[in-house]
Structure 1
Amino acid sequence: MALKAIPISQVVPQIDEIHVENVTFPSLYNNNSTPLSHGEDEDDVGKMNNNNNKFVVMGHRGSGTNMLQYSSCNEKTIKENTLRSFNEAAKFNLQFIEFDVQVTRDGHPVIFHDIFIFTQQEGKLIEKRVTDLTLEEFLSYGPQNGSTNVEKPLFRKMKDGRIFEWKVEEDDRLCTLQDVFENVSQSVGFNIEFKFDDKRNYKDEELVRVIRAVLQVVFKYAKGRRIMFSSFQPDVAQLIRKEQTAYRVFFLTNGGSEIYPDIRRNSLDEAIKLCLEGGLQGIVSEVKAILRNPRMIAKIKESNLSLMTYGQLNNEKEVVYLQYMMGVDGVIVDFVEEITSAVAQFSKQVHHDGKEHLLLLEKRLLSEQRITPCSEDEISYFRRLVPELIHS
């Protein structure tokens, strides 16, 4: 069955073109917040191109998370969050790569997803917090620069508590944010996620220190590259916005699939409220939250916010197609080659279908009646493709 429609992305600005020289945002500084200077006058930055309706595809941690190789048959054999992973992803038709940034004890932004890093010494497993390491200590894990020698072997802990040696077919050394700017193809933009520990309470002073350490590298090495920032931490997202106005800031949320003490993290409605209060430009939602309540797409767009999604369901091209139909602005994916190829194919077909589908979809999404943006046959087809969505 062919799914026919066209996205309603014209409602809000897109995130495909966000060069510093193309963007302008109102200043959010107050008397208690001093911006970090980066040599740009925001009054001269120009305006975003609102006519670009391109559906955005981002590579998750570059060419995909290594976690999938332990939970599916589709192995991702390149070490995630490394220069090799980023440059491999850049070979395909995607606009951004997404990666995680933490700051070492001595103030250096590094690329690593997990809060803790594991190694083994004399048969004993050693666990350390990434942010407690110096840069030299951090870089001593895994393969060393210019060599296949491993100073400290890397291990990894799964969510279910299992710990395994972190082995991939195409390994690479750990890297810094500066390394990424200097060595990754200029053809791709960066979605820089600020990574913090959900189980810790941070003071604003500590958050600002981390944010400014990252911004110093960004402003020095960006050189016109497309950049956006994102974070699951509400206070972090708002502080990033206060510390700079050159780049867009998105709030990451799982849309309520997990419940946190901070209510701002527990629903898409709260995410919208946070973005509007803090002057953020968009939301990156777990895809299931959007598919369970597609009418939130219209609500997010009515709030003049962009919408991206993440999650393993985004590795199914049919799921990505459905989001394209419903007006989602883009997706973060692990299977970069497969999804970029699929998007290139169905985007041509959709544009050929004409404006009548756009008007129909807008009417469906904005209707006050409780209807879905797709026909019952289309929804039934979709449910057969992804039964885990319905039963989870």
Structure 2
Amino acid sequence: MISIVVVAAVLTTQGPALATRLGSAGALAAIVVLHLAIGRRLIRADRASRLLLAVHLVLFATAVTLVPNANWLLFGVIPLVFQMVPLRPAVIGVVVANAALPVSGLILRPDELGMNLVIAAISAAAGIWLGYWITRVVEQSHERQRLIDELESSRAEVARLSREAERARLSAEIHDTLAQGFTSIIALLQATDPDLKDDRIALAVRTARENLAEARSLVAALSPAPLTSGSLPSAVRRQVDRFHEESGVTAGFRVTGDERELPTAVEVVLLRAAQEALTNVRRHAGAREAAVLLAYTAASVRLVVRDDGRGFVPGAADGYGLAGMRSRAEQVRGDVRVVSDPDTGTTVEVEVPA
């Protein structure tokens, strides 16, 4: 719109010959055509073009030299300059555009030089300030959009990792609770009636096996049941007593240090570690004795499960249970150490900062 108004003003200007006015209007029209045909596409693609800017400035200087009233197009040229190139070359472009009138006036209209210099100085200062402000606004908008995109991406990634962690946690909980419980039931029933001659025991074993198969599709409670009815030491003690009742292996339990309340996540890790370690002793160790220690220190809590069984090669025999134990410990910045020897048995130690 401003281009149309300026072209009309140039064509109706009194004084210059018609050919001069047409030449000035033609230069202004060429600026518009170039912008519509090339410049706008480059601006949208965020591609700077110093060559196109130079062509625009030459055409603008030509129009101003022919008809000084063409200088009014500065209101459209200055914002265009800041859109076409980065800030530093844009400032140079604005200075050049504003210099067109006084420079041409110095040669053709020296009597108007003073006024033209004042106008050029004011226009250049205002244009540079406005362009800088617009550039900063655009940069801040782009930065905000980038931060928003990063935030959305981060939230999506956190949600994905959270879902994966929850699935892993639920799998570990199912393994440590329902699956181990059904396994214990089957072992106790078969110990009572190895040949399953009693139909009721056979039915119970078959049912337990069926539920053991289905247990991995169930969702375990978020907080383990033993912890809801007492402290961590009492919950671990119950696991030790249960281990002794089911396996017949002599088992001891003791607590050292000053007992204190721990975060639920830490208590879950330690309790599940005790369950897993005792289950492994019952299934694989062939031990005669086992001992569990829960040690409170100022900086951490340590759970130690020892047995005098046949031992194994750590790493080579790590199954899902030990892998799950390590995974849970890592979630609370804990550490799992396993030492095993055929002569001395196995020691599983879990230490969690708390």
Coarse TM-score class (shorter-chain normalised)? under 0.3
Higher helix share: 2
Larger Rg: 2
**TM-score after normalising by structure 2:** 0.21
Higher strand share: 1
- With CA pairs under 8 Å and 6+ residues apart, which has the higher RCO, 1 or 2? 1
**TM-score after normalising by structure 1:** 0.19
